[in-house]
Every structure is written in structure tokens, then in C-alpha cells.
Copies of this chain bind each other. A is one copy, B any other.
Amino acid sequence: MAMETGFHVAVVGATGAVGEQMLKTLAERNFPISKLTLLSSKRSAGKTITFKEEEIVIQEATPDSFEGVQLALFSAGGSVSKALAPQAVKRGAIVVDNTSAFRMDAEIPLVVPEVNEADLQKHNGIIANPNCSTIQMVVALEPIRKKYGLKKVVVSTYQAVSGAGANAIKEMKDQTKAILAGEDFTPEILPCGSDKKHYQIAFNAVPQIDKFQENGYTFEEMKMINETKKIMHLPNLHVAATCVRIPVETGHSESVYFETEEAGLTASEMKAMLKDAPGVVLEDDINEQLYPMATNCVNKNDVFVGRVRQDLDNENGFHMWVVSDNLLKGAAWNSVQISESLVKLGLLK
């Protein structure tokens, strides 16, 4: 099928776990593409990828790759984004960047369309896509903030290995097989490829995602804390996070405690409101043992919310369980959704 009327789109990091989901999502959503440029590191250049029955040769990403590109979706690591995103902007592209490179830059909007789509209006060429574990949480928290006000959030995550890339998935599976067969193995990637020590992820829970910061929090935890405040426009919100990797392939789960400004709400009111919230699917019926689970969220764009219940001591306190596909709403789908918003708002030219 020939490309139709639309935009010249580039995907940087086309061969990665997220890049693959981006292409799948662009195709599924029938995003208006007139030309698709697939870019990667030198190592993957020359390979071909089929998009809507058309074979496309992957090219090495260089500044000149962005000539004529109108929309560039980056997901090839922070250093690639830092080097090439400004080059793409210089050549007239709008960049939607899936790395942490620009997220906390005051001049760059950090966007989850259900929460702060209007921030896209203020873009200077680059729009940052938030961290996976942040996105699904703010989708669930925003309708609560909007209706009842939000004072405090304490989250503990149960994060899937696909967030650490295809090599991490392979490591988890190889380790699992080795353990079941009684064989030895050497952890080499998780919890964090660029850190000194590596630990078993199979049949384990590892309380480290990304590197430690001087304040004792990991970078992943600080991402959740800082990005949540920025996206929700709540610089004084109390947010705390503990980020944990568990042996799940795809689908992040989160145990979220939050306190509302408004008092006297019931769990029923909270659930009725969440049921109609954009991007949220409420799965909550204890009589039917209905609650979100990682295994049920894969390949879906929604954020699933359940186990909604009032704190037993604090009438402003509630607990909920939030699950989403970390490669989709946590990455590829949110990037494509931002792209759709750019089209809708007439910002993509």
C-alpha cells in the first residue's frame, strides 16, 4: 500500500522494543503519514522493516536524516535525543521524545494528553513523553485532582522488565529457564545496565530501577516524583515513590495511596467518577474478584484501575491499584497520542 496524504514522520530507534510498538501503533491508528523514515544506530542500519505492507530500509540517524521530516518520534536513549533532537527541530520537525533527556526542562512541555494536552501549545519544537510509570499514575490521578483536589501521593511500583529493553526480557527468561533446570547463570543487565552490580530478576523483587541519586532515591523514583508535579501543574504536591522491578514481561502495576483536598468522599463516589475518566478503565468488583492485572493489560492502550478503597484511618485517604502496558500508554501509545493531539490542534504543519 502506498503512503497517503499526511506528514513526513521519522521514528528514531525503530528496532527497539518501544520503536516496534510505535510503528505498530502508528499503523493501527492509521496516523496520516506521507513518508516514513526509519532511523537507528549504525549497527541496525540497512535492515528492513515492513510498515503497512511496504518494506522500509532503516538508515543510520544523522543530523541530515531529518531534512523534510515534520514529526520525529525519538526512542533511542537519552544521548541520541540530546544530540539529534535539536538537529531535527532546526530542520523544521516537531520532536516527541520518549527519553528522559528533556523532561524536566522548563521550556519543554511534558505531556500526557488526558492530563495536560494544552501544554502542547507552548512547545518550542520538542515535546517530552514522560516516564512509563509516571504516565499511568497521572492518568488515574488527574480526574481525582480535578474533582476533589489532591494533596499527597505515595506509590510503590511493580514494574515489568520490558521497560529495561529487549535484552532484559531475554535475561529474565534465560534466568528463569536456568533456575527451573537447576543450572547456573550470571546476571549481566538488570537492575540497571550501566550500573556496577547486576542481580537476579527471575523469582525475585529488586528495589532498584535506574541509578541511585545522592538523596537515596533512584532516578526512576525521582522521575515519578518530579514528572508528576510538572505534568499535573502541582509543584507543591507531596509525592513519594518506591520503584521495584519484578519478574513480569510487560505491564507495570502500582499500589497508590493518595489524599484528596475534599473530605467525606466515599469509595463508591471515587469509583463512579473514575469509571468515566478519560483513558481509564475501572476494573473493580470484589465480589467477582475483578481487579487489574499485568497479564490482562498487554496490547491495550488503557490505564486499568481497581482495588479502590478508602483508608480506614484518614477520611481523605484512598488506595488504588493501577496497571497499564508500559510499552503502550507508558511509551509508544502516549507518543502517538501526543502526535494525534498535535494534528488535532493544528500544531503539526
Bound Cα distance from A97 to B158, whole angstroms: 33
Bound Cα distance from A242 to B258, whole angstroms: 13
Number of interface residues of A (CB under 8 A): 59
Segment of A6-14, A27-35, A86-94, A248-256 in the binding face:
A248-256
Q: A243-275: contact bitstring with B at CB < 8 Å (1 yes, 0 no)?
A: 010111100010101000000000100000000
Contact of A295 among B158, B203, B240, B288 (CB under 8 A): B203
Cβ–Cβ contact B205 & A246, under 8 A: yes
Bound Cα distance from A332 to B217, whole angstroms: 34
Q: Chain B residues near A177 (CB, 8 Å)?
A: 180
Least CB distance from A244 to B in Å reads: 7
Least CB distance from A170 to B in Å reads: 12
Nearest B residue to A320, CB-CB: B242
Cβ–Cβ contact A205 & B293, under 8 A: yes
Q: A270-313: contact bitstring with B at CB < 8 Å (1 yes, 0 no)?
A: 00000000000000001111011111000000000011111111
Known: A197-B289, A212-B286, A289-B212. A306 touches B207 (CB 8 A): yes
Nearest B residue to A267, CB-CB: B216
* Max chain B C-beta neighbours (<10 A), residue from A248, A289, A310: A289
* Max chain B C-beta neighbours (<10 A), residue from A152, A249, A307: A307
Bound Cα distance from A311 to B238, whole angstroms: 9
Q: Chain B residues near A158 (CB, 8 Å)?
A: 158, 205, 244, 246
The answer to the question of A329 belonging to the interface, with a C-beta cut-off of 8 Å to chain B, is: no
